[in-house]
Structure 1
């Protein structure tokens, strides 16, 4: 059974471990996991402890299987992590649908996110859900203490097919 809810303060350590496992899986494919592991662990712990109020959790059969965050409570999805043990269960799609609903209900016309440019699994996932790449950049990440090549993806939110020119067209 799938349940989506807000994170709780006491879950920061568990959420950081889920994020770290998902991050390691993504970074392993790019061959960068080991060199950045300590910085990533610290970043996840600090983030989940300080911004747990912005985190939405997805549970599967009573276990936390992933989470997403909107760090500034705007249209940007700052974090999106599904525990590798729970991938291919439709949980990412369900979580994304809820996050997009929250963004739209707050009056934003689009959802946005960014990821490492080599994270092809994440890019494919978001593209499958209607996101398009709108920029590529290399910027310093203070959390990881290094330059990171990133892509930015966006998706217009709202009623599908809401491009009519009048009744019946």
Structure 2
């Protein structure tokens, strides 16, 4: 667990860090096969994180440790869906992702949402394990088209009653 962790709403000044951390966390994941990661795909994903960070109007929160942005999460799309949890690779495994998930679960409870949903790549065992520790369970596994990567990915969807 990290001491000094603060979770707060994203400010304009955070947008570059959001894009960078999202891309670094994605790039460090062992979930993707080498065939997915040609230079064109990598640059496309980097660009998508930059665009998301600059243009999003969804609910994005920042995780900071001692004033340094180390992760972020988002709820884009349906109100019961946590669309993004990204933690800088240098800070992974310290409970930051769990704190971001718990933040969104609290928001959903206050909005009287009864079930929370989240998804990830099926080979992202660290994220799946973290979500399961938060009380989520896998309800679906299958292929899903990634518009960003232009490939089919093995994905899992998880749910939790709240």
TM, length-normalised to structure 1: 0.85
Q: How does 1:7-156 map to 2 (within 5 A)?
A: 7-26=10-29, 28-32=30-34, 34-35=37-38, 36-72=41-77, 74-156=79-161
Tell me the distance in 1 between the aligned counterparts of 2:73 and 2:113. 17
Q: Give the root-mean-square deviation of aligned CA atoms.
A: 1.6
Shift of the alpha carbon at 1:75?
A: 0.8
Can you give the 5+ residue segments of structure 2 that lack an aligned partner in the other structure?
none
Shift of the alpha carbon at 1:152?
A: 0.2
**Count of aligned pairs:** 156
Larger Rg: 1
Shift of the alpha carbon at 1:73?
A: 5.6
**Contact (CA 8 Å) 1:8, 1:53: kept in 2 or not?**
no
Tell me the distance in 2 between the aligned counterparts of 1:131 and 1:142. 26
Shift of the alpha carbon at 1:72?
A: 2.4
Deviation by residue 1:145-169 (Cα, 9 ceiling, x = unmatched): 2211110001111xxxxxxxxxxxx
Detail structure 1 runs of 4+ shifted over 3 Å in the superposition.
Answer: 28-34
**Contact (CA 8 Å) 2:58, 2:75: kept in 1 or not?**
no
Deviation by residue 1:116-166 (Cα, 9 ceiling, x = unmatched): 111111111111111100011212121222211110001111xxxxxxxxx
